[in-house]
């Protein structure tokens, strides 16, 4: 089972690999003219037919203007003597070949006298050393030892510097890729990757938290809605089953239908029972009562007719009966109780 240190180490190796790949791509896009600079046995450096020295971080040459013209805007390939470096063999599992830079960075303080920040280092091509094992050569030196040379080349106008060395008879090993402007330095790219991963992690955590809170609230609302639906269905079911404890809305509407007087039926019944000499000038239905105002030849007979009808009861005058000279009969004011048309179902 992987422990937290193993996970951190794996992540660091992956970041180093990605940072190195990004730097290589950017360098290949930006790289222009390449200038070969080779260190000599006496500590001087050969640039073509010219020889220079580095003193206190400055280039000293017989023709400094020509040297600056050659270096300005170009990419310097600086080959240093192997005497400046330590060479250490390192045996690793074969799967470590994908993360060599990160593996070496994690062990550089064990292999050399310097920490990863104090040293510049490179790794040779891996060689098979048995079943699932490889051997690489780690090349390292103190950064302070080569920094003056890099600064001198940068001061002379080099856009970037690549530092290499090689053991006797061996292939060159790249130790450092340095961008003078620092825009594509491995350390800077690595830092940007770390910051980006942290930012993505924080955003993902915030999104997950928001989704959890919203999901919890939505779940509560769904539960409450489901409970209300279940309660409503139970009430309707109880009403259909004839229970007396709960009266369903459907049952309530049904009772109201049978108990409420029908205005159409009231008008139809009145038109049938009122005599031809009776004229209704005003009719009002208020709840379960009807009020009639009009003119008739025999007002008392209207009370009898209404009482005889099964649709009305308790007919009476609610105002005095009058007779005006201009009226053809008596002006009456009668009210009566309206009986329900249908029996209420129990």
pLDDT digits (tens, 9 = 90+) for 86-142: 999 999 888 888 778 888 888 898 889 999 889 999 999 898 888 889 999 999 999
Task: From 183, 212, 234, give the residue that closes a domain.
Answer: 183
Tell me, what's the pLDDT at 322? 86
Is a pLDDT exceeding 80 seen at residue 238?
no
Residue at 109 is within a domain? yes
Taking phi over 0 as left and psi of -120 to 50 as alpha, with beta for the rest, 131 belongs to beta
pLDDT digits (tens, 9 = 90+) for 203-227: 898 888 888 888 889 988 999 999 9
Give Cβ neighbours of residue 16 (< 8 Å, ≥ 6 apart). 99, 101, 102, 105, 186, 190
pLDDT digits (tens, 9 = 90+) for 27-41: 566 556 789 999 998
In a shared domain, residues 54 and 172: yes
Task: From 254, 281, 306, give the residue that closes a domain.
Answer: 254
Residue range(s) defining the domain that contains residue 244: 185-254
pLDDT digits (tens, 9 = 90+) for 329-343: 889 999 998 887 654
In a shared domain, residues 239 and 208: yes
In a shared domain, residues 156 and 207: no
Is a pLDDT exceeding 50 seen at residue 69?
yes
Average pLDDT of the chain to the nearest whole number: 82
Structure tokens belonging to residue 301: 């007979």
Residue 22 sits at the vertex; the CA angle it makes with 16 and 23, to the nearest 5 degrees, is 90
In a shared domain, residues 31 and 113: yes
How far is residue 176's CA from residue 2's CA, in Å, rounded to a whole number? 32
Residue at 242 is within a domain? yes
Task: From 183, 206, 224, give the residue that closes a domain.
Answer: 183
Domain count, the chain: 3
In a shared domain, residues 18 and 153: yes
Residue at 322 is within a domain? yes
In a shared domain, residues 319 and 206: no
pLDDT band at 1 (very low <50, low <70, confident <90, very high): very low
pLDDT band at 49 (very low <50, low <70, confident <90, very high): confident
How far is residue 58's CA from residue 181's CA, in Å, rounded to a whole number? 18
Is a pLDDT exceeding 60 seen at residue 269?
yes
pLDDT band at 45 (very low <50, low <70, confident <90, very high): very high
Residue at 344 is within a domain? no
pLDDT band at 155 (very low <50, low <70, confident <90, very high): confident
Q: Using an 8 Å Cβ cutoff, are 81 and 41 in contact?
A: yes
Residue carrying structure tokens 């830092």: 191
Per-residue three-class SS string for the chain: CCCHHHHHHHHHHHHHHHHHHHHHHHHHHHCCCEEEEEECCCCCEEECCEEEEEECCEEEECCHHHHHHHHCCCEEEEECCHHHCEEEEEEEEHHHHHHHHHHHHHHHHHHCCCCCCCEEEEECCCEECCCCEEEEEEEEEEHHHHHHHHHHHHHCCCCEEEEEECCCCCCCEEEEEEECCCCCCHHHHHHHHHHHHHHHHHHHHHHHHHHHHHHHHHHHHHHHHHHHHHHHHHHHHHHHCCCCCCCCHHHHHHHHHHHCCCHHHHHHHHHHHCCCCCEEEEEEEECCEEEEEEEECCHHHHHHHHHHCCCEEEEEECCCCECCCCCCCEEEEEEEEECCCCCCCC
CATH number for the domain harbouring residue 126: 3.30.420
Is a pLDDT exceeding 90 seen at residue 168?
no
Structure tokens belonging to residue 199: 């930012």
**Percent of the chain residues past pLDDT 70, beyond the cut:** 84
In a shared domain, residues 66 and 110: yes
pTM over 0.75: no
In a shared domain, residues 164 and 233: no
């Amino acid at each position: 089972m992987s422990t937290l240190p193993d996970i951190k180490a794996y992540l660091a190796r992956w970041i180093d690999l990605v940072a190195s790949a990004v730097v290589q791509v950017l360098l290949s896009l930006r790289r222009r003219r390449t200038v070969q600079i080779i260190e000599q046995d006496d500590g001087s450096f050969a640039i073509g037919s010219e020889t220079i020295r580095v003193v206190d971080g400055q280039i000293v040459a017989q023709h400094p203007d020509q040297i600056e013209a050659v270096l300005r805007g170009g990419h310097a390939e600086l080959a240093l003597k192997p005497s400046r470096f330590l060479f250490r063999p390192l045996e690793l599992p074969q799967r470590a070949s994908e993360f060599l830079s990160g593996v070496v960075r994690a062990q550089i303080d064990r292999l050399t006298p310097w920490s990863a920040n104090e040293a510049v280092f490179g790794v040779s091509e891996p060689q098979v050393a048995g079943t699932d094992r490889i051997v690489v050569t780690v090349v390292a030196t103190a950064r302070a030892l080569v920094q003056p040379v890099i600064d001198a080349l940068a001061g002379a106008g080099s856009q970037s510097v690549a530092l290499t060395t090689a053991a006797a008879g061996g292939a060159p090993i790249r130790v450092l890729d340095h961008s003078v402007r620092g825009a594509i330095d491995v350390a800077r790219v690595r830092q940007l990757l770390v910051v980006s991963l942290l930012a993505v992690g924080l955003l993902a955590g915030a999104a997950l938290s928001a989704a959890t809170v919203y999901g919890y609230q939505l779940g509560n609302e769904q539960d409450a809605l489901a409970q209300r639906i279940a309660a409503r269905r139970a009430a309707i079911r109880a009403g259909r089953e004839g229970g007396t404890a709960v009266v369903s809305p459907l049952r309530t509407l049904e009772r109201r239908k049978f108990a409420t007087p029908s205005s159409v039926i009231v008008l139809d019944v009145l038109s049938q029972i009122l005599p031809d000499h009776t004229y209704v000038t005003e009719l009002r239905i208020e709840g379960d009562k009807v009020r009639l105002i009009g003119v008739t030849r025999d007002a008392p007979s209207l009370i009898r007719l209404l009482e005889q009808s099964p649709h009305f009861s308790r007919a009476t005058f609610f105002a005095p009966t009058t007779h005006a000279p201009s009226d053809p009969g008596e002006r009456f004011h009668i009210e009566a109780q309206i009986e329900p048309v249908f029996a209420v179902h129990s």
